[in-house]
Amino acid sequence: MREGSAIHRVAVLALDPVVAFDVAIATQVFGHERHGRYEVTLCALDAGSVTTTTPGFGITVAAGLEAVTTADTVIVPGFGRGPAPQAALDALRTAHRGGARIASICIGAFALAQAGLLDGRRATTHWAHAADLAREHPAVRVDPAVLYVDEGDVLTSAGLAAGLDLCLYMLGLDHGQSAAIHRARRMVTALHRAGGQAQYTIAARTETSERLGPVTEWALANLHRHITVADLARQAMQSTRTLRRAFVAEFGTSPHAWLTAARLRKACTLLETGELTVEQIARHSGLGSAANLRLHFRRAYATTPLAYRATFQGPRT
């Protein structure tokens, strides 16, 4: 809180076109906190109307950028990709220099990066945009696997619902876990979700390529078997060294790492759609045993196979 104030002022900066869901998260968590310890102001470049990324759905904001420069916490929701207005970036820098805590939801991280607030820091954003953030802002250490990142006075969150995780986390920082738990219960949501966003990116990863299509298609059809890199090389009629170079050039990873990832993707598909046991899924995906599947799952997705199944199938009855 700024000196002399008993109320924590939160400015939610809506950059046109703003993601309405992200705006609602921030205003709902802090604007309805039961003890009235926050004063939430929805603001934009100027007071008035702001369009959203949802067609036909706009919002009206009460304040301009002056709310940003006087806030204790500034939250930047996601917005249409592209350069943020210079005036907004200047306001974010001013707020940060004045001691404000700056946070972003989803691709709101791009505004923080454009303002230079993420340089030299670890940060995250929606998994689908993480590579773009890393490429456009090489000084930022982008972690696409986590739900949120706390760098002290600058915090970032992954896509959409991860903004809820972050806002509840910040509420807990401000007023303790009991306050965050109470707010989570009122919102009928979990205070902490198992795993990170890595578990949501599986279907989006490239399975094959034109150059390596025959060998990767063969591997995907035979994942239940014991396959070595030498087996892949024989299918490709290449040496293991040549095959490794081809995989690194095409997928950015080694044949062994690609094969492990393919086995995990098959395991995920079976967990999402079937009734097989974890032991059976381990055998069908070529990971051998339930213990080995759990180990790889924990390393790749920071969760367990059964927790993953519950996320995508719902609770068993």
Local structure of 182: helix, strand or coil: helix
Reported as a single tens digit per residue, the pLDDT across 140-158 is: 999 988 889 999 999 999 9
Q: What is the CATH number of domain 8-193?
A: 3.40.50.880
Q: Above 70 in pLDDT, residue 21?
A: yes
Listing DSSP states for 102-151 in one string gives EEE-GGGHHHHHHTTTTTTSEE---GGGHHHHHHH-TTSEE-TTSSEEE-
Amino acid letter for position 233 = A
Q: Above 60 in pLDDT, residue 4?
A: no
Q: How confident is the model at residue 252 (pLDDT cuts 50, 70, 90)?
A: confident
Q: Above 90 in pLDDT, residue 178?
A: no
Annotation: CATH topology of 202-313: Arc Repressor Mutant, subunit A (1.10.10)
Mean pLDDT of the chain: 88
Give domain limits for the chain: 8-193, 202-313
Give pLDDT, residue 102: 98
The dihedrals phi and psi of 252, each to the nearest 5 degrees, come to: 75, 20
Give pLDDT, residue 203: 44
Distance CA 190, CA 183 (A): 10
